[in-house]
Amino acid sequence: MTRASLTRLAVAGAAILGAAALTVSPAVADPASQAAAPAVSNGTNHGPKHPAGHGHQPDPSVSVRLLTINDLHGNLEPPTGSSSRILDPNGPLTDTDGSLTGIAGAKYSIAGGAAYLAAHLKQLRTDNTLLVGAGDLIGASPLLSAAYHDEPTAALLDQLGLATSSAGNHEFDEGITELKRIMNGGCHPVDGCSPAGTWKGTSFDYLGANVQKESNGDYALPPYFVKKINGMKVAFIGLVTQTTPSIVTASGIAGLKFTEEIAAANKVSKFLAHHGVKAQVVLVHEGDGITPNQDPSSCPVVPGAGSRIAKGLDPQIDLVISGHSHQAYVCKVKDPAGQDRVYTQGSSFGRAITQIDFKIDRRTKDVIRSSVVAKNNVVTRTVTPDPDTETYINTWKERVSAVANKPIGKITATIGRGSNVGETPLGDLIADAQLEATKTGGNAEIALMNPGGVRADLTFPQSGAEGDGVVTYGEAFTVQPFNNLMQVVTLTGAQLKALLEQQIWKVDPTTGGITQRILQPSSSLTYTFDTTKPEGSRVSDIKINGTAVTDTQQIRVAANNFLVGGGDGFTVFTQSTNLWSGPLDIDALVAYMGAHSPIAPPATGRINLIR
């Protein structure tokens, strides 16, 4: 490692002040300066002490508990709909037909919500406990947090005692300057101060060992954080997926470069070890998919980018805590020296807390690998919510009401979801908005929207004082309240046909009632769905922009993360490849309304429905 590299590490690390109220952004490295030892935050939990002179020998090891969260996405209020459910082998609920989780017979719990998260954290905390994150704690957030550039979430994370977190791709949604403002303080340069007053910043930093300035190669964020626990130093190295430039808008990553994760982490690891910091943890915003309906403790991962990193990191690194894929798993992988290394992820939206307990040898100052025990704890709503957190959230709910009343566009007539039988005007409108929002970056060709996610009509008569035909943000949010992420995946033409064949259309012979689940298509997709034919042979004449689809054709399909995860029984989505994540579904609708107003109800007919 060159002196300049050591200097960059030392100078960037010296800016990390841990539990102190003051935060300082990383200084630009001075190549002429000397490399210094890593800055260390002194912990406040020192454990029991034996009185002097009583012959007690010090414990040869120090116990540490890490509590970890990832992909919170500003979900302060309990998430609803599909975002509230989590597969849970010990859950009290059963998905009898697969319509809720996509897996018939799966056990699940209703989970999440900051007040419940705070309550569970209090129950899990012991001496020598640290709370850390693996990115996307802010960004792609619900209105309550997003309306004020995620200051409400960042402040709450401080209150919960977050020590540090890796940056995630969504932390860059508004650019590095805005991310540094969140850490360091100051009011938003355009929107000014929030109702809470001047933003004071956070007492924790986001880490990014593989995030560099294009201009000179210096670290754009601190690469690591060191915390002293009962005399033992524990280092946290932060990484974000190197695919960030392809999943964040160009303005969000302007002036930055994202390097390969393993090489970046290993460079920092060697520097830390050289300075005597042997207990090392990687927080990486990258992860794997899973095989559905498996106990997280069974390591149900489908090896991908996350496993590549977890297996390839230097043997000095003891634990790998991941995020990004919104899955729950606890695994052991082999490091390059053949030792077991724990590799975890804790779902998303505050629905789980990963608990990792281990010991550090006082003599070697390193983690005793055989002592590491990890598990995921579901943030159930069966506990009493933390009252202080509830009060905090209610305050912000009152403040955000002004944002909810903001006009976002106009309609010429009511655009309805009808009875959600077949194709509907509002379903088509939402699919068109989602396609437009995912063309750039995701290269989407078609979009599909689940009808159950369309929760209300867009009505022409005013709901308040905004005027007839005016659509407010609150009204749009009522239509799409789940804050699902828009994603784009690749399906073959044969897989697309198989996916559309999974749509349901059943008629009760006695009542004539229809049970159906028909995906709402963007205008670029047309096909015939013949309900008179047997299931599995109902779909034909699939075209994209008027051109017939072939079985081997590679098609970029946009849908929300609920569908991409196999929700509503559309399990073909789980066979997809090349996942890309974009904006929230509500943001896609709001942007479309603003760009195309006034909007008339779209004509249906994209699906040739034969009954």
- Amino acid present at 361: D
Which residue has 């308040």 as its token pair? 464
Task: State pLDDT tens for residues 564-587.
Answer: 988 888 999 989 999 998 998 999
More confidently predicted of 324 and 33: 324
- d(C-alpha 123, C-alpha 135), whole Å: 23
The CATH label, of 3.90.780.10, 3.40.50.300, 1.10.1370.20, 3.40.50.10790, for the domain at 407-609 is: 3.90.780.10
Enter the tokens of residue 191: 């929107």
Report the pLDDT averaged over residues 133-162.
Answer: 94
Give 485's strand partners. Answer: 584
pLDDT of residue 270: 98
CA distances to 236, 327, 610 from 537, rounded to whole Å, are: 54, 33, 13
- d(C-alpha 150, C-alpha 145), whole Å: 5
More confidently predicted of 413 and 420: 413
Closest C-alpha to 526, from 548, 504, 505: 548
Task: State pLDDT tens for residues 524-564.
Answer: 999 999 999 999 999 999 999 999 999 999 999 999 988 99
- d(C-alpha 472, C-alpha 482), whole Å: 17
Number of C-beta neighbours around residue 364 at 10 A? 11
Label the pairing between strands 61-69 and 129-133: parallel
Which of 73-82, 157-166, 304-313, 387-396 is predicted least confidently?
A: 73-82
Query: What SS3 class is residue 523?
Result: coil
Fold of the CATH domain 70-387? Purple Acid Phosphatase; chain A, domain 2 (3.60.21)
Dihedral sign from CA coordinates of 419, 80, 348, 156: positive
pLDDT of residue 405: 87
CA distances to 79, 139, 149, 400, 405 from 394, rounded to whole Å, are: 15, 20, 18, 10, 18
Which of 334-348, 368-382, 449-463, 482-496 is predicted least confidently?
A: 449-463
Q: How far apart are the first and last CA of the chain?
A: 70
Q: Do residues 272 and 320 lie in contact, with contact meaning Cβ atoms separated by under 8 Å?
A: no
pLDDT at 183 over 80: yes
pLDDT of residue 511: 66
pLDDT of residue 567: 81
Q: Do residues 327 and 290 lie in contact, with contact meaning Cβ atoms separated by under 8 Å?
A: yes
pLDDT at 420 over 70: no
CA atoms within 13 A on the CB side of 229: 29
DSSP character at residue 415: B
Q: Cite the residue boundaries of each domain of the chain with CATH code 3.90.780.10.
A: 407-609
Most confident of 37-41, 55-59, 128-132: 128-132
Mean pLDDT score of the chain: 89
Q: Cite the residue boundaries of each domain of the chain with CATH code 3.60.21.10.
A: 70-387
Locate the DSSP E strands across 60-156: 61-69, 85-87, 93-95, 106-110, 129-133
Task: State pLDDT tens for residues 50-84.
Answer: 333 445 666 899 999 999 999 999 999 998 877 89
